């Protein structure tokens, strides 16, 4: 079952990467310019989200017993 879940996740990641590449390829010049100028903002938000997820994972690891009672 785990191999099936991994296969589905890997397939979806590859499909999304191809979709993004095709969208960027066929985008107009105006859209491509917006992609280039909004890059730093996307990186900042992505960094904030990764930090938040990391804090969440650390909190779940530290308070594993309490998290087990909440989520199970």
pLDDT score of 19 = 95
Residue 72, helix vs strand vs coil: coil
User: Can you read off the two tokens belonging to residue 27?
Assistant: 């985008």
Take residue 49 and report the two structure tokens written for it: 């989200």
Give the list of residues 6+ apart from residue 60 with CB closer than 8 angstroms, or none. Answer: 67
pLDDT in tens, 5-62: 999 999 999 999 999 898 888 888 887 788 788 888 989 999 999 999 999 999 988 9
d(CA 60, CA 62): 6
pLDDT at 49: 96
pLDDT of residue 64: 86
pLDDT of residue 56: 92
- Does pTM top 0.85 for this prediction? no
CA 7 to chain centre: 17
């Amino acid at each position: 079952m785990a191999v099936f879940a991994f296969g589905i996740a890997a397939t979806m990641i590859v499909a999304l990467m191809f979709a993004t590449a095709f969208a960027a390829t066929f985008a107009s010049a105006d859209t491509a310019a917006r992609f280039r100028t909004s890059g730093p903002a996307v990186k900042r938000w992505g960094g904030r989200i990764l930090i938040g997820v990391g804090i969440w994972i650390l909190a779940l690891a530290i308070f594993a017993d309490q998290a087990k009672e909440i989520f199970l």
